[in-house]
Structure 1
Amino acid sequence: MMTVSISSLNNRFFITTICTFLYIASLFPQKPLERQKDMLQQYSGLWYSSIDAQTDSIAANPLLRMTNTPTMDKSAMFVTVEQWKDGTYDPILSEFIGYDIKTNAIIATGQNGLGEMFHGEGSFSNPDNWHMEDTDMLDNKILLVDFKFYDQTDVLVTGTTPEHKKLWSTRYVKQNPKDKNIGIQLVSVHKQMQLNPDKILRLLDRLGYSFIETFVYKDRGFYGFSPSEFRKMVNDNHLEFRGSMTFYDLPKNGEDWDKALQWWANCIDDHLSAGVEYLTTSNTNLKDLDSLEELRAYCRYYNIIGTMCAEKGLKFAYHNHADEFLKIEGKTIYDFLLKNTDPEVVSFQADLYWMHVGKADPVDYLKAFPGRFFSWHVKDYQELGESGKMDFSRYFEYADTAGLQYVVAEVEDYSFPPLFSVERAWSYLYYSIL
């Protein structure tokens, strides 16, 4: 492996919804990185050299840019290293790195800027440490390369001679591209956000996410921060706070109506202060409804909320789970909601996974109600694209028909540590779908 040197809301509905999110996540405990091919995928993505090996700060024009594009079902990648010179990046190294199933090793073949070919072989001793040994095409040992991952977005690469004399160290920081405007629902990293939101937001930025969507609005704030404080934290980490899932149960009498409307007025103002562009809500009480008249009351409620949002310049949408595809009095709940809410003020956030769980074909709804689905939650039974059950390529053929503006990745079934799963979701959307 040759490289290049350089030096509050306490009401029942809110609690039920949060518990539902956390219960689902708890069903799928994360697994550590154990396989060589999975550890290798930390190296995928777009990387820039830092100012020096002691910092993860990046200069305005980093000396090196490294593009590692995953291929072969995420068991290999193409690597290109470029050097900044005279206002542009010129290629100085090309390489193919892959996991070999027969030897359980990482194998590399490449060519440097001098036209010299090389061969590398090595392995991870653990997820944080990777060692490779390079030979030339005459089978002479030429370089030892060690990789120390501080995290999946920050790696120190050190080259030494076969006699273990240090030649150079280069620190690379990942900054995946954002040109496809992919968002992330923060339930995917909920536990991590509770512990260190600033750090997690920084990592999500590096992993390539453009914007976030929350579900934790409580006591007129987010994760214990005021709207303006949280907005600043998000923006300081080069992200946008575009969406928020919010919950307040349908009021039952006049006094409750006044309280509910005041809550929504405060909610809207707080989200405007936070810089949010849209609010969504959902309903976990649908199984308890007995009549269409009860469902019609929810439609009126959503129309009122949507109007309040529209008057302040926010979009409002209803988010589905699986119960929306049950029937009341012979009518499918989701169809009734779509037909009895005002399309001028109530849009829909299509959760593709929950549609599938509810045995509905998302395409049927995207075609039947064009322009109603400005936001999608893109979730799978495993990491995105890895269950084989969801036909995301087909769904996205109808993105324009649906009026899609906000693509929101979501992961709740973890085969790996959450942030690793979240990057696999980004990678799937970026390289395979969008």
Structure 2
Amino acid sequence: MRILTALTLIFVFTQNSLAQNSIDSQVDRLHQYVGHWVSSEHAGTESIATFPAIRMHNTSTMNKLSMQVEVLQYQDGKYLPILTELIGYDAKSKKIIALGQNQHGVIFKGMGRFTSETKWEMQDLDMLGNFYLRVEFDFQSPTNVLLEGYDESGKSLWKTRYIKSNPKDKNIGIQLVSVHQQMLKDPEKTLRELARMGYSYVETFVYENGTFYGMSATEFRDLVEGNGIQFWGSMTFHDLPAADDWEDALEWWSKTIDDHVAAGVKYLTTSNNQLSSIKNKGELKRYSDYYNAIGKLCREKGITFAFHNHADEFKTVEGTRIYDYFLEHTDPEYVYFQADIYWMQVAGVEPIDYFKKYSDRFLSWHIKDYKELGASGEIDWMALFHHADFNPPKYMVAEVEDYSYPPMHSVQLAWEYLYHSVLK
């Protein structure tokens, strides 16, 4: 019996081959500052107080060319505005320009630029041309930025650390294959970053011999939850067994399901890379029976099972599309489906047709594009999420497999696109 590994190898190769992408333009570097931020207890720590001294809301405008900044300070039991700014990239001067006003009514103009992906400097003058402030920004991670203000002589006046704290109210998940190398290197830091970006839960794909990223089910669950996120979904693989290996395969699934139950997982998915070799409907029936058996085990143990598609599922066998056969010949009580929108697009089928016809069979969507979400313009996400004949499923999982930027920046853009542009 063989555990399915081809997809894992493909994903790992993709991550490795694209790991050198960088954030090159001033506009993209500036966009790192977009989002909801709160100040840490002091500049030397990332710990957040119950009522942070500062809250900052940075809203992207003008197709990411600029942002509106609002800074609020906690005073006498409420948050009061102390600063507002418009910050943008000026195409003529090739500089980042800011126009702001503080709570004392002073209006100032700032000018500067990023000297690297993570270092940003701004020189501020008041409207009489007098020196106002020099500020240095140090993005120590995508969700952690240290600000330091200097007077005209170069003396440090203050330091403030901002930690990103995007909202989680729209229940957006992330497939961890999107940040696979980062998870292998430092799972705790990666999970903390994803939680701060606004992701509500994670979906894994690396279950092996009872472990997740080398940790037991309970260890991994505690690590995830300890970093402000939930472990709700998992994708794992086991090939269709030969007839004499059927019981062994179901025993493997039984143990696998037990491990996922211990981890607190709500749903378990699988996919298959053998489908292109199917020759007849008899083989399709064996697959359907296999998924029914797995789904029944999941139901008995309190979690939900779903089948995840790629493109091969939309090929035909004896005049019948494989995906259609699975939908018609698996038991709705035991087998749901996780639609990978991108692979449906690649296969040349219309996802809307499936969601209209089988509206109660889809537990989850994998929300993936040809690059970062929304970048290709080839998938009509608004039509999918706001269709009159069906609702989006319970679990919406963002996934990025091809990158224009470092993976952590790309998954932040995916969350922003879903949160601000699609999930109205």
Provide the TM-score with structure 1 as the length reference.
Answer: 0.94
Cα separation, 1, equivalents of 2:228 and 2:136? 30
Q: CA deviation at 1:115?
A: 2.0
Structure 1 Cα separation of the partners of residues 40 and 13 of structure 2:
40
1:367-407 per-residue CA deviation (whole Å, 9 max, x = no partner) reads: 11112112111011111111111111111114982550111
Question: Residue 5 of structure 2: SS of its match in structure 1?
Answer: helix
What corresponds to 1:193 in structure 2? 183
1:165 to partner: Cα distance: 2.4
Match in the other structure for 2:403: 414
Of 69, 76, 79, the match for 2:66: 76
**How many correspondences in the alignment?**
423
- Kept in 2, the 8 Å contact 1:372–1:403? The answer is no
**Cα distance, 1:31 vs structure 2:** 1.2
Cross-structure match for 1:4:
none
Q: How far off its partner does 1:270 sit?
A: 0.2
Instruction: Give the AA of the match of 1:132.
Output: M
In structure 2, C-alpha distance between the alignment counterparts of 1:398 and 1:296, rounded to whole Å:
33
Residue pair 1:185, 1:409 contacting (<8 A) in 2 also? yes
* 1:132-165 deviation per Cα after TM superposition (whole angstroms, max 9, x unaligned): 0111222222111111121121111111122322
Displacement of 1:23 in angstroms is: 3.9
Q: Is 1:384–2:398 an aligned residue pair? A: no
Q: Is the 8 A contact 2:385 2:392 kept in 1?
A: no
Matches within 5 A, 1:360-375: 360-375=349-364
Which residue in the other structure is 2:258 paired with? 269
Match for residue 141 of structure 1?
A: 131
1:123-138 equivalence runs, <5 A? 123-138=113-128
Q: Distance in 1 between matches of 2:18 and 2:136?
A: 34
Correspondences of 1:35-434 after superposition (within 5 Å): 35-254=25-244, 256-398=245-387, 401-402=390-391, 404-434=393-423
The whole-number CA distance in structure 2 between the counterparts of 1:375 and 1:53 is 41
Q: Distance in 2 between matches of 1:251 and 1:324?
A: 19
The residue type paired with residue 220 of structure 2 is: F
Alpha carbons of structure 1 residues 77 and 200: separation in structure 2 relative to 1, 3 Å: same
CA deviation after TM superposition for structure 1 residue 16, in Å:
1.9
Q: CA deviation at 1:26?
A: 5.1
User: What is the SS of the residue equivalent to 1:367?
Assistant: helix
Give the 3 Å change call, closer, same or farther, for CA 400–117 of structure 1 in structure 2. Answer: farther
SS of equivalent residue, structure 2 residue 4: helix
Contact kept, 8 Å, 1:214 with 1:245, in 2: the verdict is: yes
SS where residue 115 of structure 2 aligns?
A: strand
3-state SS of the aligned residue for 1:305?
helix
Contact 2:123–2:134 (Cα < 8 Å) also in 1: yes
Bigger Cα displacement from structure 2, 171-180 vs 97-106: 97-106
Contact 1:244 1:276 in 2 (8 A): yes
- Separation in 1, partners of 2:350, 2:75: 52
Contact 2:15 2:181 in 1 (8 A): no
Segments of structure 1 that go 5 or more residues without pairing to the other structure are 1-10
Percent of pairs with identical residues: 53
Partner Cα distance (1:219, 1:278) in 2: 19
Question: In the alignment, is the contact (CA less than 8 A) between 1:396 and 1:433 conserved in 2?
Answer: yes
Deviation of 1:20 (Å): 3.1
Partner deviation per Cα, 1:2-42 (whole Å, 9 max, x = no partner):
xxxxxxxxx54422231233344456554111111111111
Q: In structure 2, how many angstroms separate the alpha carbons of the residues matched to 1:153 and 1:422?
A: 12
- Alignment deviations for residues 158-186 of structure 1 (CA, whole Å, 9 cap, x no partner): 11122322221111111111111111000
The Cα shift of 1:242 comes to: 0.2
- Whether the aligned pair in 1 keeps the contact of 2:57 and 2:69 (CA below 8 Å) is yes
Distance (Å, rounded) in 2 between the aligned partners of 1:305 and 1:153 = 40
1:102 CA displacement:
2.2
Q: Residue 71 of structure 1 aligns to which amino acid in structure 2? A: T
* Comparing 25-34 and 192-201, the one that deviates more: 25-34
Contact kept in structure 2, 1:82 and 1:92, CA below 8 Å: yes
Give the Cα separation in 1 of the matches to 2:110 and 2:392: 48
Q: For the Cα contact (< 8 Å) 2:385–2:391, is it kept in 1?
A: no
- Partners in 2 of 1:427 and 1:403 — Cα distance? 18
Rounded Cα–Cα distance in structure 2 between residues aligned with 1:69 and 1:185: 26
Letter in 2 for 1:260: A
Query: 3-state SS of the aligned residue for 1:238?
Result: coil
Whether the 8 Å CA contact 2:356–2:389 is kept in 1: the answer is no
User: For each residue in 1:75-98, what CA deviation from the matched residue of structure 2 results, as whole angstroms up to 9, or x when unmatched?
Assistant: 221111001122221111111111
| Paired residue secondary structure (1:31) | coil
Amino acid at match of 1:231: R
Change over 3 Å in CA distance of 1:196–1:29 after alignment to 2: closer
